[in-house]
Homo-oligomer: A and B are copies of this chain.
């Protein structure tokens, strides 16, 4: 997170934040852009990307940078882990305590300065399990 500095609260930024806070999903930049366009039809994808970057640096939202996948964004800035459905690509929150102590342990053994860790689960969500069953 960076120091706020001078952060102009433009209409675009307000709407992006409002929309992101209002959904439980973890939209991609493109999805978010479509949602925001319902209120600001002329907003460009570039602006959405730029602002998602700036707002995440300011700690107002979170990037979910999942391996090999399109980036997703989360209005919830509390640290938590995610579960990704390999079938439909959706991302869900995991209700699990953060791993305590592992970073220190790894730092001690590796000589690294460890600044963080990323843990994500891959699997199949309940809806896709159902879909799979009926398909058989």
Measuring CB to CB, which residues of chain A are less than 8 angstroms from any residue of chain B? 65-68, 71, 83, 85-86, 92, 94-96, 99, 102-103, 105-107, 109-126, 129
Q: Does A112 contact B125, Cβ atoms closer than 8 Å? A: yes
Nearest chain-B residue to A115 (Cβ)?
Answer: B123
How many copies of this chain does the complex contain? 2
CA distance A132 to B14 in the complex (A): 38
Separation in Å of the A79 CB from the closest CB of chain B?
Answer: 14
Extra pairs beyond A65-B68, A86-B115 (9, CB < 8 Å): A83-B106, A92-B112, A94-B110, A96-B102, A106-B121, A112-B121, A113-B124, A115-B122, A118-B118
Q: Which residue of B lies closest to A103 (CB)?
A: B121
List 28 A–B pairs whose Cβ atoms lie within 8 Å, in order of A's numbering.
Answer: A66-B67, A67-B67, A83-B106, A83-B110, A83-B114, A86-B115, A92-B110, A92-B112, A94-B109, A95-B109, A96-B106, A96-B109, A103-B121, A106-B121, A107-B123, A112-B121, A112-B123, A112-B124, A112-B125, A114-B121, A114-B123, A115-B122, A115-B123, A117-B121, A117-B122, A118-B118, A118-B119, A118-B121
